[in-house]
């Protein structure tokens, strides 16, 4: 049972590191942005994992039912904000990548650095 209870956290750790590896070592700028997106999604997974209560249900109050256990609504609020902010950041990042591609003609990071050095 220990394994099942902790599997979410292990998947979070693996996804976080996959995202970080993509940002660190891939040279293509759009690949880096996708890696950043994976990184953010892993953090969302961690928070939403923490909000589940055994035997609970979604935190929408049903008026007639008494003694119903509800899952924790607080991490959900934080992650709602975070998802939308993540997409806003992605949009800005992609706009900058489009401009870089038009100015330098390429979106590989080392080629951009080469052109800059000249």
Partner 1 sequence: MVVLFGLFLLTLLVITALGIVNADNLFAAVMLMGIFSLQMAAIFFVLDAADVALTEAAVGAGVATMLLLGALALTKDKEKRRRRRRWPAIVIVTVTTLMMIYATFDMPRLGDPQAPVHQHVAPWYLSETPKVIDIPNVVTAILASFRGYDTLGEVFVIFTAGVGVMFILANGSGNGRRTMVPSADSTGLRHHLVPRVVGRLLVPFIVLFGLYVQFHGEYGPGGGFQAGALISAGLILYALVEGEKEALRAIPLSVLVGMIAFGAFLFGAVGVVGMLFGGNFLDYSVLLSNPVAGQHLGIMLVELGVGITVTGVLLTIFHTIAARRKDH
* Residue 60 binding partner 1, by CB under 8 A: yes
Least distance between partner 1 and beta carbon 80 (Å): 6
User: What is the contact mask toward partner 1 in residues 66 to 105, using x (rule: CB under 8 A)?
Assistant: ---xxxxxxxxx-xxx-xxx-xxxxxx-xxxxxx-xxx-x
- Min CB(114)–partner 1 separation in Å: 13
Report the site for partner 1 in 1-30 (rule: CB under 8 A): 1-2, 4-11, 13-22, 24-28, 30
- How is residue 70 annotated by DSSP? B
Could you tell me which residues come within 8 angstroms of residue 106 by beta carbon, excluding any fewer than 6 positions away? Answer: 112, 115
With contact defined as beta carbons under 8 Å apart, do 58 and 51 qualify?
Answer: no
Counting residues that bind partner 1 (by CB under 8 A) gives 85
Query: CA 74 to CA 19: how far, in whole Å?
Result: 26
We find the least distance from the C-beta atom of residue 118 to partner 1, in angstroms, to be: 19
How many Å is the Cα radius of gyration of the chain? 20
């Amino acid at each position: 049972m220990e394994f099942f209870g902790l599997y979410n956290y292990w998947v979070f750790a693996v996804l976080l590191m996959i995202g970080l590896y993509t940002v660190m070592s891939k040279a293509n700028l759009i690949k880096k942005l996708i890696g950043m997106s994976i990184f953010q999604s892993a953090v969302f997974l961690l928070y939403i994992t923490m909000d589940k209560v055994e035997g609970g249900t979604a935190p929408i109050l049903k008026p007639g039912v008494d003694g119903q256990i509800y899952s924790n609504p607080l991490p959900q609020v934080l992650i709602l904000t975070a998802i939308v902010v993540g997409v806003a950041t992605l949009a800005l990042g992609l706009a900058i990548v489009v401009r870089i591609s038009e100015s330098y003609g390429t979106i590989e990071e080392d080629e951009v650095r080469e052109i800059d050095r000249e």
